[in-house]
Amino acid sequence: MSSSEISAGPRLLLLAGKLGYQTRSFAEAARRLGVEVIIGSDRCHQLDDPWSDAAVALHFEQPEQAAARLVEALGGRPVQGILALGDRPTVTAALTAHSLGLRYNSPEAVENCRSKLRQREVLRAKGVPVPAFFSFALAEDLQLVLSRVSFPCVVKPLHLSASQGVIRANNAAEFRAAVERIARLLASPEIQVTREGELNRLLVEQYIPGAEVALEGSLDRGKLRILALFDKPDPLEGPYFEETIYVTPSRLPPAVQASIFDCAQRTVEALGLTEGPVHAEFRVNDKGPWVLDVAPRPIGGMCARALRFGPERMFLEELLVRGTMGLPGANLPRESLAAGVMMIPVPASGILEGVDGVEQAAATPGVDEVEITARLHDFIAAWPEGASYLGFIFSRATTVEEAETALRRAHSKLQFSIAPRLPVAHPVTGRNSF
């Protein structure tokens, strides 16, 4: 297909905080479908552009200005769809869609999801089950804050994702230590440079015991279609909450799964979400499902590769592009095989000096692929400061048990060499990195 033919066809706006592997996967899926991709990103505009089509440099912490910049950059070219990857671009996407008359979630609905505190407030007001919670400013007297805490509890920032800065506390001493550690993280150059809002406040919520699941869905005019329900077989009991294994289909009883699906539909309705991908996290116990988090975006990182649809086993990225652009094939069912993904955990913070055993891990029966995404000689952070994994392992099998076992066996063959890093002052803030 010639470039002129592509430019005359449908266009997709793809907004991404990073021009990494997830962005590339969505862009390539769109282009395979003959869809022209226009990328908006908050990457530094002075960096070399790795794309054949120039990405529009945006500041997602200023969504109104970013949306206006994007509309201006389009120069009147018609656009048929918009997708946001990650949490930061979602408000810009909503404002841009409103300006262009595209089907998307309303700006208010997206704002309801951006802050963990705001999301909790909206859901509680609508009767959707969420943990008991309150918020406080870091400048407040901790002794007075402690008078409001019931243990065990979970302390977390209002905006960070991937469980970054999320810590369980079982008593007053652990609570104080958690607050001090999260405060240091929020004051670090790596976080300050993002210009996220409300970095001076924390959320405290009741710890909810039970099994944890992740739901991947897609909305069409408010109707939620369940694409996959993932079990998280490793216990996520704290003190930190780094995720590892997702496997699907879920092994929970059908009645429990139905209760999760019902809760998910009630949740998106309460938040006002109506269009596009949804990623949601729930805890489930004898009182039913509890909402942990809902985001109007697809699953993060490379995890989408765990999901394939239809007889041609298309990836989730292509399915979502088809749905966004109104192309046929968006309603194909997920394949019948069980599937799993391991987000390779970070054992310790430091400089990644070497990786061994990748070929042996990839040769493990049931394993589809092993992808190491962390770069050699870069700093990697363990949780709760961390937010990026060492890589991903993917498996497929006849049963969920086999898919999970393949991931664990492959992971056992990997070895990572991590060296300590000396503190280095950030060139802008002058503060030492964590």
User: Which carries the bigger pLDDT value, residue 47 or residue 104?
Assistant: 104
Q: What is the mean pLDDT of residues 333-337?
A: 97
More confident residue, 301 or 342: 342
- Kindly list the distances between the CA atom of residue 240 and the CA atoms of 60, 67, 349, in Å, as whole numbers in the listed order: 28, 36, 14
Neighbour tally for 47: CB within 10 Å: 10
Nearest to 204 by CA among 144, 265, 261, 251: 144
Q: How far is CA 213 from CA 210, 224, 259, 336, 384, in A?
A: 10, 17, 12, 19, 20
218: phi then psi, degrees, rounded to nearest 5 = -145, 135
- Within 10 angstroms of residue 373's Cβ, the number of other Cβ atoms is 15
Q: Per-residue pLDDT for 53 more than 60?
A: no
**Kind and range of the H or E run holding 354:** strand 350-356
Q: What is the mean pLDDT of residues 284-302?
A: 96
- The answer, yes or no, to whether residue 190 has pLDDT greater than 80, is yes
Place of tokens 């210009």: 195
Instruction: Cis check for the bond before 249: say yes or no (omega within 30 of 0).
Output: yes
Answer whether residue 47 shows pLDDT above 50. Answer: no
Q: Does residue 368 surpass a pLDDT of 90?
A: yes
Q: What is the predicted pLDDT for the residue at 426? A: 53
Query: Left if phi > 0, otherwise alpha if psi is -120 to 50, otherwise beta: which for 382?
Result: beta
Please report which confidence band the pLDDT of residue 52 belongs to, taking 50, 70 and 90 as the band edges.
Answer: very low
Average pLDDT over residues 372-386: 96
C-alpha–C-alpha distance, residues 3 and 138, integer Å = 54
Q: Residue 46: is its pLDDT beyond 50?
A: no
304, amino acid identity: A
pLDDT score for 231? 98
Query: Is pLDDT above 50 for 290?
Result: yes
SS3 280: strand
Residue 8 pLDDT: 60
Which pTM was predicted?
Answer: 0.92
Asked if 247 contacts 230 with a C-beta cutoff of 8 angstroms, the reply is yes
pLDDT over threshold 80, residue 434: no
Distance, in Å, from the CA atom of 114 to the CA atom of 159, rounded to the nearest integer, reads 7
* Cis, bond preceding 78 (omega within 30 deg of 0): no
Are 250 and 230 contacting, i.e. CB atoms less than 8 angstroms apart?
A: yes
Is 123 or 301 the better-scoring residue by pLDDT?
Answer: 123
Which pLDDT score is estimated for 50?
47
114-152 pLDDT tens trace: 999 999 999 999 999 999 999 999 999 999 999 999 999
- Label residue 301 by pLDDT band (50, 70, 90): confident
Q: What is the pLDDT of residue 421?
A: 82
CA nearest 168: which of 221, 239, 108, 105? 239
* Alpha helix ranges (H) inside 272-399: 316-325, 358-362
Higher pLDDT, 92 or 195: 92
- Residue 419 tokens, joined: 């060296």
Q: At what angle do helices 21-32 and 316-325 cross, to 10 degrees?
A: 60
Band of pLDDT at residue 220, cut at 50, 70 and 90? very high
**Cα distance between residue 86 and residue 296, in whole Å:** 9
212, β-bridge pairs: 283
Taking alpha carbons only, the member of 237, 246, 357 closest to residue 285 is: 237
Which of 4-13, 18-27, 53-62, 222-231 bottoms out in mean pLDDT, i.e. has the lowest? 4-13
Residue 3 confidence (pLDDT): 39
Question: Domains plus CATH for the chain?
Answer: 3-111 (3.40.50.20), 132-206 (3.30.1490.20), 337-434 (3.30.470.20)
